[in-house]
Chain A
Amino acid sequence: MSETFEPTIIAFCCKYCAYAAADLAGSMRLSYPSNVKISQVPCTGRVDIVHLLRAIEDGADGVYVAGCLEGDCHFVSGNLKARKRVEYVKRTLEELGIEPERVEMFNLSSAMGPRFAETANEMTEKIRNLGPSPVKINRAA
């Protein structure tokens, strides 16, 4: 039932920017959906293609990587590597007949609490509209 479908979204957030922004959103009492499960990484450069694929494989409806603004990565270029990997996964999903929009990359600074909440909301809404991951539907069958 798509009305009652609640997506599961994994968010890989870098400690220095995205996770900090998430914390800030929390202290600012800005709400974002509980669909988003945050996983902290020291830098989005730590996130590899396999992590994103395994998340999809294990049934996540959406996955995103949130890192520092480009040019401001705490570890210089980890976020640039992450973006390339997200692009690779999008291409792979397309080859598999799965919507590439289920995987995304976002950039923000630690001060951008509202932006964090905004992206979490946007992604959740988008995935809700896309429906459950085709991997998950059939797993339940």
Chain B
Amino acid sequence: MIVADRKSLAEIQDMVKKYNKILVVGCKGCVTVCNVGGLKEVQILASSLRIGRKKDNHPMEVDEQVLERQCDPEYVEQLKDDVDCYDAVISMACGVGPQFLSEAYPDQRFYPAVNTTSFGGAVAHGVWEERCAGCGTCVIHYFDGMCPIARCSKSLLNGPCGGSDNGKCEISKEVDCIWDKIVRKKMEQGRIEDILDVVPPKDWSTGGHGGPRRSIREELIRNE
């Protein structure tokens, strides 16, 4: 799912320093799964903000809410009766959420509480890693189920480069060299020929370099 990390308290406090009554709204989607913007995290952030303002003798009212998702108009709509009674709203959803909210409620101010980072999954309890870069042309099957675009620091299609060290990427010992893994797997499975041909240059236009993307399901579009 989409992985995000919460912004620092200092940054969030700065966003709302002028306000006296705000709403913190979470999302039951991806940010709940990666424990950064679900109900619990909304409560923690709200309480932290209230404590900070009480301490500064400048109390702020902070209400708490969670939507099923912030990326669907049906759920965003559920805020319509409440949204106007706040000076500002903090969204704990991924980058999509606050934008959908902003569009639905143009007169209100929306602030992002998290920095959205990547498409990833849980590799251990409490640890999420990037697996997909959203390049729009998935070719993981050529690399035995591993994506070099997302997981190689240089997005090489004909890797590895000369910098890998003991299976780790040159940029950090914490980062695996995905090409080391790909090559080893191919060797183990006796499929080294798969990676002997030069993979041609990538079409980056599907990966966001061709402009903002749009996905359409023709069969679902209603002509009203």
Contact = CB atoms under 8 A, between A and B. Distances in A.
Q: Do chains A and B touch in the complex (CB under 8 A)?
A: yes
Interface of A: 48-50, 53-54, 56-57, 92, 95-98, 134-135, 138-139, 141
Interface residues of B, number: 15
Contact of A96 (B43, B44, B48): B48
A139 B55 CA distance: 8
A80 to B, nearest CB: 12
Q: Which 9 A-B pairs have the closest CB atoms?
A: A138-B57, A53-B47, A134-B55, A95-B9, A135-B54, A50-B43, A96-B52, A57-B51, A135-B55
Given A95-B48, A96-B9, 18 more contacts: A49-B44, A50-B43, A50-B44, A50-B47, A53-B47, A53-B48, A57-B47, A57-B54, A92-B9, A92-B44, A92-B48, A95-B10, A96-B51, A96-B55, A135-B54, A138-B55, A139-B54, A141-B57
A97 B51 CA distance: 10
Interface of B: 8-10, 40, 43-44, 47-48, 50-52, 54-57
B197 to A, nearest CB: 50
Contacts of A95: 8-10, 48
B147 to A, nearest CB: 32
Contacts of A135: 51, 54-55
Contact of B55 (A48, A53, A54, A97): A97
A131 to B, nearest CB: 13
8 contacts: A50-B40, A50-B43, A53-B47, A53-B48, A54-B47, A92-B9, A96-B52, A138-B57
Contact of A48 (B10, B40, B57): B40
A137 to B, nearest CB: 8
A53 to B, nearest CB: 4
A138 B59 CA distance: 9
A138 B10 CA distance: 20
Given A96-B9, A141-B57, A57 B50 contact: yes
A115 B55 CA distance: 33
A82 to B, nearest CB: 15
Question: Which of the listed residues B8, B10, B50, B54 has the most CB atoms from chain A within 10 Å of its own CB?
Answer: B54
Given A49-B44, A53-B44, A53-B48, A98 B55 contact: yes
Contacts of B52: 96-97
Contacts of B48: 53, 92, 95-96
A35 to B, nearest CB: 21
